[in-house]
Structures are given as structure tokens and as C-alpha cells.
């Protein structure tokens, strides 16, 4: 059975307790679109608070450490996220790769740590503008998929139950207002799909591949209709219900 479209809001380092009102509004709105799986990833301080305010949407973190506990000042582990009721974690976002020097190997270790406690995992991949202009976009993203995705039995089990998603986020499209051309999105999603099938067999054909990069209420329909696009990872347009819910509605319309 095909999984529902997955629309995930990444609040990044934005938000405060007053913004929980937006989360409540998103939660209420999401109840009108049951054919879509909706989730928010707020910053760590809001995670438990937001979790307690919502019922229809998933709640996840923007990162976790690869270790379960220990001397890692400032970090948060996957078991800690699980303990407070988080549903999933995003790993390998390009801002983490850039700001914290996260390699594919680190991203894979984080993903495996999250799967070990049955969290859902969204693994981000995407090329820079220089890599795209040089004609290397697909090779770069395929290599990221091969080296960042978890492997082993835990990974196969997560894929089988829909706990693993991939977000294709061209770095140059994040927060810039520039959206990838639909044809390029379709081609890249097909390339990622081929890697997933090579890694996980038939089950890899069902993994949701989200698009991320300046998605908003105006461009969401055309992106959600694109073959192979299983949802969206949304930054700026996830900060208010007014901006986010039209994206959810676009994903629901594509299901009709």
C-alpha cells in the first residue's frame, strides 16, 4: 500500500513558546487533511512543549547525536528524543553538514542511532549550485544516498514499515526563493529511487522521497503532482499555519 504524502515543517532555529499557537493551528488544520501525514520539527527547547499541544501531527527533531549518551556537551541523543515522545528526526540537513562538518558517515551513524530506538528518520541530500553547474548534481546526490543511508537489518525493517524517508534538497534552493525546475526534481527523484531499490529491493520503491527548497503555497501543487515526489520538507513556509496549511492542502488535492 502506498504511504500517505508526507509534509514536514522544519522550524530550524526559529520559534518561541508564543509560536506554539501556530503549531496548534497547524494541528487543527491538519485534521481536515487525513490523507496527508503532517509533522513539525521545532528546535529542541520547544519539542516536548509542542508535543503536548498537538494530536493530529507528528513531532520530530532536527538532529540527534550518534551516541546514546555520554560526554557530548550540547548534544541530544536519539533515546532522549524517544523518551519525550518524538516521532522522528531529520538528519544530514545541509545546514548541519555545512555548519557542523557532518560527513555522510556521521549522518549514517545518526540515522542508525535513531532507527535503533524506532524513530522515523528523514535523511537529507542535495547538491550545491557549483556541483549542479558542473553537471555533477546526480552523481553527488547518488553518492550521498549510498553513504548516508543506514544499512543492515534495522534499515531494511525501517524501510518496510515506512520509517525511513529521503529529502532531496538542492542546497541552492533552501531559503532562497529559488525552486528547482520540476523536470530536474523528477529526474533527481528517479535517480534516488534507483539507489533505494538497489539498496533495499522492492521495499526501496516505496520509500518516500520528499522535495525541499523554497516550497510554498503557490508552487506546492505542481511539485506534489510531479511523479516520484512523496511530500515536502518545508522551512520558511512552515512557521505559520497560514503559510503551511496550503502546502498540506496541495498534497491532499494530489491524492484526490
- Active site residue ranges: 93, 169
- Least separation in angstroms between residue 98's CB and ligand PEP is 12
Q: CB of residue 103 vs ligand PEP: minimum separation in angstroms?
A: 19
C-alpha cell belonging to residue 8: 514536514
- Cell numbers at residue 91, please? 538528519
DSSP annotation string for the chain: -PPPPEEEEE-TT---GGGHHHHHHHHHHHTT-TTSEEEEE--HHHHHHHHHH-SSSEEEES--BSSSSSS-TT--BHHHHHHTT--EEEE--HHHHHHS---HHHHHHHHHHHHHTT-EEEEEE---HHHHHTT-HHHHHHHHHHHHS--SHHHHHHHHTT-EEEEE--GGGTTTS----HHHHHHHHHHHHHHHHHHHGGGGGTSEEEEESS--TTTHHHHHHSTT--EEEESGGGSSHHHHHHHHHHHHHHH-
CB closer to ligand PEP out of 63 and 203: 63
**Residue 106 or 124 having the CB closest to ligand PEP:** 124
**Smallest gap, in angstroms, from Cβ of residue 150 to ligand PEP?**
20
Min dist. Cβ of residue 11 to ligand PEP (A):
9
Chain residue at closest Cβ approach to ligand PEP:
235
Sites of contact with ligand PEP (CB under 6 A): 10, 12, 169, 174-175, 212-215, 233-237
In the complex, the smallest distance separating the C-beta of residue 6 from ligand PEP, rounded to whole angstroms, is: 13
Which is nearer to ligand PEP, 50 or 210 (by Cβ)?
210
Nearer to ligand PEP, 81 or 179 (CB): 179
Between residues 120 and 212, which has the closer beta carbon with respect to ligand PEP?
212
Amino acid at each position: 500500500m502506498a504511504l500517505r504524502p508526507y509534509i514536514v515543517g522544519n522550524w530550524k532555529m526559529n520559534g518561541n513558546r508564543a509560536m506554539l499557537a501556530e503549531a496548534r493551528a497547524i494541528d487543527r488544520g491538519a485534521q481536515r487533511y487525513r490523507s496527508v501525514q503532517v509533522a513539525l520539527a521545532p528546535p529542541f527547547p520547544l519539542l516536548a512543549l509542542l508535543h503536548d499541544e498537538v494530536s493530529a501531527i507528528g513531532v520530530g527533531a532536527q538532529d540527534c547525536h550518534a551516541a546514546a549518551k555520554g560526554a557530548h556537551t550540547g548534544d541530544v541523543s536519539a533515546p532522549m528524543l524517544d523518551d519525550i515522545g518524538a516521532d522522528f528526526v531529520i538528519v544530514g540537513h545541509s545546514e548541519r553538514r555545512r555548519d557542523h562538518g557532518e560527513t555522510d558517515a556521521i549522518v549514517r551513524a545518526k540515522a542508525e542511532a535513531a532507527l535503533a530506538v524506532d524513530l522515523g528518520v528523514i535523511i537529507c541530500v542535495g547538491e550545491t549550485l557549483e556541483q549542479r553547474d558542473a553537471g555533477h548534481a546526480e552523481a553527488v546526490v547518488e553518492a550521498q544516498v549510498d553513504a548516508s543511508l543506514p544499512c543492515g537489518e534495522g534499515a531494511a525493517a525501517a524501510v518496510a514499515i515506512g520509517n525511513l524517508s529521503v529529502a532531496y534538497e538542492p542546497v541552492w534552493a533552501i531559503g532562497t526563493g529559488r525552486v528547482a525546475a520540476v523536470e530536474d526534481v523528477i529526474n533527481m527523484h528517479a535517480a534516488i529511487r534507483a539507489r533505494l531499490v538497489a539498496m533495499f529491493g522492492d521495499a526501496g520503491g516505496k520509500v518516500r522521497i520528499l522535495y525541499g527548497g523554497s516550497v510554498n503555497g503557490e508552487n506546492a501543487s505542481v511539485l506534489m503532482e510531479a511523479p516520484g515526489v512523496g511530500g515536502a520538507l518545508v522551512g520558511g513556509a512552515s512557521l505559520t499555519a497560514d503559510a503551511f496549511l496550503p502546502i498540506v492542502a496541495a498534497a491532499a488535492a494530489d491524492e484526490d
